[in-house]
Amino acid sequence: MKPSQAVDNLIEISGLRFSRGSRVIFDGLELAIPRGSITAIMGPSGCGKTTLLRMLTGQLRPDEGSVRVAGQEVNRLSRPDLYALRRQMGMLFQNSALLTDFNVFENVAFPVRENTSLPERLLRNVVLTKLQSVGLRGAAGLMPSELSGGMARRVAMARAMVLDPELLLYDEPFSGLDPISLGVVLRLIRLNNDALGLTSVVVSHDVAEISQIADHCLVLSEGRVIASGRPDELADSDSELVRQFMTGAADGPVPFHYPAPDYRQQLLGSS
């Protein structure tokens, strides 16, 4: 990688190895995510997509290798420096993770109250501006129990953006959404990324949906990136595994059956 190229990457991961017990999650993972892009992280279940997000936020530390965000090696940061880096990140969790005892306004205000000393009037303006950006300024007084799944996801998005982060991380943002809500969230990810100059990393199983907005896709399998490129390029990949994942085919390198003894022998042996 040329020095001029490195400046354009917000995230760089090199030689990443990580295991849980005897199970290898990453085995020499290498990837780079350019600034200002929407990058989709895809792959079969259990390939380490959410684990990768936890590496980026410093919740997990690699066994070997380097994880760099905004030029800083995450796994070598002190606790104060790690917290400072996290303030440059926003996170949208798979289940939205709204605080059930707080209304919509206070959910969005929570990161601001925890990390700044803004006067109440300015805080109010910031929160209402973010709610306006996701179309929910009128829902500021509602409780999480009064929100639909799509509304809760949009409130969580407003909260993730409220500190004006440089990096937004989305963990399965389309899970459980109806088609209309899904379309709204897709549009918001694209619009906010472009309007605010963000870098977005989206972990998703929803190939057709994320392909509509992603600038770049990375497919993980067996601890490595097995394919990268634009969504249309991956659909025509030479890799049978990548094609199976992109098309959702039941038959292919990822088998339907979990490894098991011979079926006939097992049945006869149990009688």
pLDDT in tens, 166-188: 999 999 888 888 888 888 889 99
Question: What is the per-residue DSSP string for 55-73?
Answer: HHTTSS--SEEEEEETTEE
| pLDDT reported for residue 249 | 60
The closest of 84, 83, 28, 87 to 59, measured between CA atoms, is 83
| pLDDT reported for residue 95 | 83
Least confident of 73-87, 129-143, 255-269: 255-269
């380097």: which residue's tokens? 66
pTM: 0.83
- Is the pLDDT assigned to residue 120 strictly greater than 90? yes
Distances (CA, A) of 256 to 141, 243, 250, 252: 47, 16, 7, 8
Report the CATH fold assignment for 3-88+165-269: Rossmann fold (3.40.50)
Q: What is the mean pLDDT of residues 38-59?
A: 89
Expressed in percent and rounded to 5, the helix, strand and coil fractions of the chain are: 40, 25, 35
pLDDT in tens, 50-77: 999 999 999 999 999 999 999 999 989 9
Q: What is the 3-state secondary structure (H, E, C) of 84-115?
A: HHHCCEEEECCCCCCCCCCCHHHHHHHHHHHH
**Domain boundaries in the chain?**
3-88+165-269
The count of other CB atoms within 10 Å of the CB of residue 45 is 7
Work out whether strand 167-171 and strand 89-92 pair parallel, antiparallel, or are unpaired: parallel
Q: 149-161 and 120-133 are packed helices; what angle lies between their axes, rounded to 10 degrees?
A: 130
Q: What is the share, in percent, of the chain residues with pLDDT greater than 90? A: 55
